[in-house]
Amino acid sequence: MTTLPPLREVIARHGLSASKALGQNFLFDEQLLDRIAAIPGSLDGAKVLEVGPGPGGLTRALLRAGAEVTAIEMDRRCLPALAELEAAFPGKLKVIEGDAMKIDPATLFDGPYHIASNLPYNVGTALFTGWLSGEAWPPQWSSLTLMFQEEVARRIVAEPNTSAYGRLAVLAQWRSKAKLALKVHRSAFTPPPKVMSAIVHVVPGEAPAGVSMRVLERLTEAAFGQRRKMLRQSVKGMPGAIEALERLGIDAQRRAETLTVDEFVQVARELTAPKD
């Protein structure tokens, strides 16, 4: 196994510090990083996309697990440290300098891949919803293993009739299986963030037939955009939504947070179906 210098030493040598503007927080605990890399299961020979590797803490763990890693990093300060990892693991790491918000992962891989990342806090949710949003299903990615602020992680795995339940839960659960895999204490990071973090693991499930992702996105955006209001108020601007609720026997006086994921899917299917 390749012997690497301690990550703290690498960071000190390159004069690196976490950028608040880029939502960075560095993880040094090698055992914790190995636990995160183990969440998707065996990665031996698997292709993995990592967004925002920073100085390469999780990258090291993924490489140790046998993965072939493609890492997207927009912080040029971190590139020399990542170049050392490229040299230590020949042919196993490819670093792309760029903005992950502007790069389609499908253009980077010619087959299945996993996504594993300590996501930058400022773009994590946007990246996550983007990966969930393709009309084609199942997606090219085999699993998502992602670090979020714990509050966001709980919103992804939330159940109906809870304060955390909302649009993110529906989008994550209607054709995928999402679970909270690991909590990470704020003290594990340098510098420590003000909030706790958690790892969410998502694998694709079977997509319900006859439902457009775009329609479901618009429906949940309307329903939860005014979550304190009854559905008859929150979705009235979406043509056909009130009629769909009536056909399905869903009381329009209910609030969005009381509807199950399956009920949202049923409404979206009604709205997706071609009209005579």
Please report, in range form, the residues annotated as the binding site for S-adenosyl-L-methionine. 25, 27, 52, 73, 99, 118
64 closest CA partner among 85, 94, 95: 85
Check residue 77 and report its DSSP letter.
G
276: amino acid identity, one letter: D
Listed in sequence order, the residues at least 6 apart from 259 whose beta carbon sits closer than 8 Å to its beta carbon are: 160, 223, 231, 250, 267
Query: Residues with Cβ < 8 Å from 32, sequence gap 6 or more?
Result: 184, 188
Residue holding tokens 């880029």?
A: 22
Give the burial class of 196: count Cβ atoms within 10 A of its Cβ; 0-12 exposed, 13-18 middle, 19 or more buried. Answer: middle
Strands 68-73, 47-51: pairing is: parallel
Distance of CA 146 to the CA centre of its chain: 5
Give the pair of three-digit tokens for residue 78.
Answer: 């971190």
Residue ranges of the binding site: 25, 27, 52, 73, 99, 118
State which amino acid sits at residue 255. R
